[in-house]
Amino acid sequence: ADGARVPALVIGTGYGGSVAALRLAQAGVDVHMIEMGMAWDTPGPDGKIFCNTREPDYRSYWLRTRTKAPLNYFLGFPIDRNIPRHTGILDAEEFGGITVYQGRGVGGGSLVNGGMAVTPKRENFGAVLPSVNADEMYGVYYPRANAGLGVGTIDPAWFDSTACYQYARVGRKHAQRSGFPFVFVPDVYDWDYMKQEAAGTVTRSALAGEILYGNNHGKKSLQQTYLAQARATGRVAISPLHKVTSVAPAAGGGYAVVIEQLGTTGDVTATKTVTADRVFFAAGSVGTSKLLVMLKATGALPNLNDEVGRGWGDNGNVMCGRANHMWDPTGALQSAIPCCGIDNWAAGGAFAEVAPLPTGIETYASFYLSITNNPHRARFSWNAATGKVDLDWQASWKQPSIDMAKTIFDKINAKEGTIYRTDLFGVYKIWGDHLTYHPLGGAVLNKATDNYGRLTAYPGLYVIDGSLIPGNTSVNPFVTITALAERNIEKIIATDL
Ligand code: FDA
């Protein structure tokens, strides 16, 4: 409520925020979490909380009047459609050179993501987080994160037999025939539930094309894991549809946090100020970076250091499809949850997920999301004229990612006698190079913060999300974001409270 005082306020309810809330509560600290998105705990008129990827409706996008599907064309035809403006679940946030997809709601990105829960290879960790002790991460914090998130791996025997992963088996065959290492990728989806979906004994979710706009069953989002545990402590309150707009030192100590309450069309219905002894920035790489850059430039937190806003990367995301021969159908029924990848990181700088195209019809297409070792890093800066934060990413900076992805797919195409699909991202456009699902950086660990996420100019202010990671994790990022948050909050609880 307006005028309240709280010991710890967490901005955002994604991975970093959920870890912070749970561990602080377990240490006896009362926590208030502020989340700009909706609670996603109430069914809509169709009886479902989340809408389907094939039928986007008012629930699908954050304050847009037209969908912006990542795969925006099919057979050369645009597939986007008009929708009512609503505080929906997926934000396609547009900057000059890139569209950044993010989850909005209690659970952050865990609501919309594929649940691929990948721990980087240890040999790559030094480049991911250079100032962090790898022994501690691989001995303690990665295992803790994997346990807390409920990570599991597909039963290989079931993988070999189920119709819904035919597309992935085609992906495996083509990878192996070109000599690339094929790997199973763990996920937070309940694999036993998926087996029952395939057997027809439970309501389908992954097998009904649910993914980008939320899964109604099967996926263990943060609402089922860290946040459920946090609520069970009785010490964590969550305010959905509340957006933090300012944090500044308060006269009597602590920090004054200004919060706008939002209606479901994005209108501001109330403005509140609370005082917090400690504030944890967990608004995601883009959300936290935008807040910190704005607060530094506008004089609320002028002593934040000059690294704030720097070191942002796209995790080298780039997408493409291949057209298979008629003897390699990929299946009309495709699980929306990816389960495997092609690892060419060491030789070619690319790790490609074999991704679904859950259209419900046979497409003879193989689809891939590659994570590549793109060297470019962008910077967020305050634009006083527009009153907004800009990002200086250039569209042409995706070229190294395309070149790295081609180390895999040019070879596979040559071996198989196949070609790239040119109809998925536009009219005659091969590469999905306009977007990222994996924003990272902007408040980099040991640069913008100390080595545990403290904003040292302001005791009691912390960063604890993907903005700490300098732009690339070599695999999908949320396990690393979670593990780093576990490491940092343990230190903060031990030394600062
Ligand atoms: P996260 O973005 O999760 O949470 C931040 C929260 O803060 C959001 O809920 C946001 O609404 C809120 N917020 C922002 N500003 C605020 C403000 N001013 N006031 C209040 N609240 C505010 N990763 C992976 O490892 N495996 C995968 O399979 C995938 N797949 C995938 C698919 C898609 C479509 C997307 C969009 C993303 C993925 N990801 C992924 C990425 C993964 O979801 C992402 O890296 C994490 O969610 C980031 O976690 P954070 O804790 O940094 O922020």
For ligand 1, what atom is nearest to the CA of residue 242?
A: 20
Judged on CB neighbours under 10 Å (0-12, 13-18, 19+), 293 is: buried
Compute the distance from residue 180 Cα to the ligand 1 centre, in Å: 30
Q: How far is CA 191 from the centre of its chain?
A: 21
Instruction: Decide: 466 in ligand 1 pocket, CB within 6 A.
Output: yes
The confidence score (pLDDT) of residue 76 equals 73
Identify the residue whose C-alpha is closest to ligand 1 atom 43: 109
Amino acid at 262: L
- Check pLDDT > 90 for residue 426: no
ipTM: 1.00
What torsion, rounded to 10 degrees, do the Cα atoms 72, 73, 74, 79 define?
A: 70
Angle at the Cα of 235 from the Cα atoms of 233 and 240, rounded to 5 degrees: 110
Instruction: Decide: 322 in ligand 1 pocket, CB within 6 A.
Output: no
Catalytic residue numbers read 353, 438
Instruction: Decide: 104 in ligand 1 pocket, CB within 6 A.
Output: yes
How confident is residue 331, by pLDDT bands cut at 50, 70 and 90? very high
114 CB contacts (<8 Å, ≥6 apart)? 187, 211, 336, 337, 338, 353, 355, 476
pLDDT tens digit string along 243-292? 999 999 999 999 999 999 999 999 999 999 999 999 999 999 999 999 99
The confidence score (pLDDT) of residue 349 equals 98
Compute the distance from residue 284 Cα to the ligand 1 centre, in Å: 6
Tokens of 335: 């699980």
Q: Which residues of 360-376 are buried (b: 16+ CB within 10 A; e: fewer)?
A: eeebbbbbbbbbbbbeb
* Distance (Å) of CA 194 to CA 12, 48, 111: 30, 18, 18
Tokens of 376: 């470019």
The confidence score (pLDDT) of residue 413 equals 98
How confident is residue 3, by pLDDT bands cut at 50, 70 and 90? confident
- Check pLDDT > 90 for residue 330: yes
Instruction: Decide: 243 in ligand 1 pocket, CB within 6 A.
Output: yes
Identify the residue whose C-alpha is closest to ligand 1 atom 50: 284
For ligand 1, what atom is nearest to the CA of residue 338?
A: 28
Identify the residue whose C-alpha is closest to ligand 1 atom 11: 104
Helix axes 478-496 and 142-149, enclosed angle (nearest 10): 110
- Check pLDDT > 90 for residue 78: no
For ligand 1, what atom is nearest to the CA of residue 116?
A: 28
The confidence score (pLDDT) of residue 107 equals 98
User: Residue 70: which of 356, 478, 481 has the closest Cα?
Assistant: 356
pLDDT tens digit string along 410-422? 999 999 999 999 9
pLDDT tens digit string along 363-390? 999 999 999 999 999 999 999 999 999 9
Q: How far is CA 254 from the centre of its chain?
A: 31
CA dist., res. 220 & res. 172, Å (int):
26
Compute the distance from residue 102 Cα to the ligand 1 centre, in Å: 5
Phi then psi for 81, rounded to 5 degrees? -140, 165
| Average pLDDT of the segment spanning 446-471 | 98
CA dist., res. 102 & res. 90, Å (int):
6
- Check pLDDT > 80 for residue 440: yes
How confident is residue 393, by pLDDT bands cut at 50, 70 and 90? very high
CA dist., res. 150 & res. 23, Å (int):
17
The confidence score (pLDDT) of residue 72 equals 83
Instruction: Decide: 37 in ligand 1 pocket, CB within 6 A.
Output: yes
Amino acid at 196: Q
| Average pLDDT of the segment spanning 81-102 | 97
SS (H, E, C) 348-396: HCEEEEEECCCCCCCCCEEEEEEEECCCCCECEEEECCCCEEEECCCHH
For ligand 1, what atom is nearest to the CA of residue 91?
A: 36
User: Residue 354: which of 113, 186, 169, 118 has the closest Cα?
Assistant: 169
How confident is residue 439, by pLDDT bands cut at 50, 70 and 90? very high
Q: Are the C-beta atoms of residues 391 and 379 closer than 8 Å to each other?
A: yes
Instruction: Decide: 274 in ligand 1 pocket, CB within 6 A.
Output: no
Count of all residues that appear for the chain in the document? 497
pLDDT tens digit string along 154-176? 999 999 999 999 999 999 999 99
Phi-psi region of 151 (alpha: psi -120 to 50; beta: other; left: phi over 0): beta
Q: How far is CA 384 from the centre of its chain?
A: 29
Q: Which residues pair with 258 in a beta bridge?
A: 246, 273
Strands (E), 263-323: 268-281, 318-323
Instruction: Decide: 238 in ligand 1 pocket, CB within 6 A.
Output: no
The confidence score (pLDDT) of residue 323 equals 97
CA dist., res. 243 & res. 291, Å (int):
11
